[in-house]
Amino acid sequence: LNVWVAPASDPKAAKVVTNDTSRGIRQFFWAHTNSHILYLQDKDGDENWKVFSVDLSTNTTKDLTPIDEIIVDGKPFEQGGKKLRPTARIEAVSERFPDEIIIGLNSRNPQLHDLHRVNIKTGAMTKVLENSMFVGFDLDDDFRVRLGAQMQPDGGHLLHKNVNWNSPGADIKFEPWEKIGQEDALTSSPTSWSKDGGTLYMSDSRGRNTGALFAVDMATSKKSLVAENPKADTGGVVIHPQTKAIQAVGFNYLRNEWTVLDPALQKDLDYLKSISGGEITIGSRSLDDQVWTVSFADDAAPTKSFIYDRVNKKATFVFTNFSALEGQSLATMHPLVIKSRDGLDLVSYLTLPVGSYKEATGSTPRPNAPLPMILVVHGGPWARDAWGYNALHQWLANRGYAVLSVNFRGSTGFGKDFINAGNREWAGKMHDDLIDAVNWAVEHKVADK
């Protein structure tokens, strides 16, 4: 996998702009210069990421993190007899500083990332903050360091706020602000900032089960509810590129659904729903908000991408992400909820071979006769299965198997109670959930025992 660039009007004129011959590039995006691509890559799967910038005007690539050793007390840091490479992460990008990004780099201490301001054209690097205790940071669009997260002994974290954020030229000064306990650590986190920097939007499950989106006044710490769902945590958010207002919030229970907050956005979504089926994702938006890239993900078809002209309310088809699948007879993925033996709702996804069942409206179909079944178990465990095109489901269903994926307790996205029900239950009740799903499939004549 390499990155290609093409005129929006002629995707077939794409030209490759990177030259990776090993792992393939999976993390990349446009810089705000409009003439550079930024991407991350590791070495042989070590997950020690480096950040690269591709200048499209010269077709040259620059390593923005050309540091290959972690130096502690003047010596290269070793682990297991091997020198450990630093890992970089992109902490912030902003249209207000198109030539620069903020990068976190653990070249001084393997446990902690210092913050650096890096010029993507020249590679010049300036240290912004030497990190003494934080596992993560949150910055606003003015590259002001706003929050630092410090791990706590119970597995939660303490958020510190920079009280000098709005004082030009003042040193960064952190003070403890909000405690997020272990039980809320995976369902509570900052999301974005208002344009003036005075309001933090964050997902927060404290005092409730699911992570809802709140607006927090940073001067008073007063919280106002923006959007919530009793069954699912806050997922993706749609943010206006100029005003920074939250326009829609995604919640994914059985499938992803958008809670729309801005009526203007609702008009766009209504039009887009009329041109294609599948789940809508707004990929990117021009800063004047007149042009979008939009994709429609399906379970039994490749993803379709469009260029959307908001002024004329016209979406132009660009390509699918897997043209060889166009027109193929692919299997439908059916969302369902299976009860665990102790009463938990296990959101699951069943795929049956094409032609193996009669279509049933409003219910999960059963095959004409019980089938051999494959149980596909997601990793993590703090991850989840979701509806959509799944290559493994398609391949196995094509070979005649029923395929079932189960969000066992400990899976993310369904509230903190469900996540924490997996605590101390690895290979215990987490595994029972899988067995319960298998027993459901046998009982309902989906699977041959």
Unique residue bearing structure tokens 């119970």: 154
The predicted pLDDT at position 364 comes to: 87
The rounded distance, in Å, linking the Cα atoms of 40 and 101 is 13
The predicted pLDDT at position 156 comes to: 96
Residue 424 has a CB neighbour count (10 Å cut-off) of 9
Q: What share of the chain is helix, strand, coil (3-state, %, to 5)?
A: 10, 40, 50
Structure tokens at 254: 């059985």
The predicted pLDDT at position 443 comes to: 97
Neighbour-count burial of 261, counting CB atoms closer than 10 A to its CB (0-12 exposed, 13-18 middle, 19+ buried): middle
> Coil, strand or helix: which one is 325?
helix
Residue pair 233/250 in contact (Cβ under 8 Å)? The answer is no
pTM equals 0.93
Chain segment 53-79, per-residue pLDDT in tens: 999 999 999 999 999 999 999 999 999
The predicted pLDDT at position 361 comes to: 67
Residue pair 284/28 in contact (Cβ under 8 Å)? The answer is no
Helices and strands, number each (H, E), in the chain: 4, 33
**φ, ψ for residue 65, nearest 5 deg:** -130, 65
The rounded distance, in Å, linking the Cα atoms of 196 and 29 is 25
Residue 283 has a CB neighbour count (10 Å cut-off) of 11
> Coil, strand or helix: which one is 76?
strand
The rounded distance, in Å, linking the Cα atoms of 184 and 211 is 9
The predicted pLDDT at position 229 comes to: 98
The rounded distance, in Å, linking the Cα atoms of 139 and 134 is 13
**Low-confidence spans in the chain with pLDDT less than 50:** none
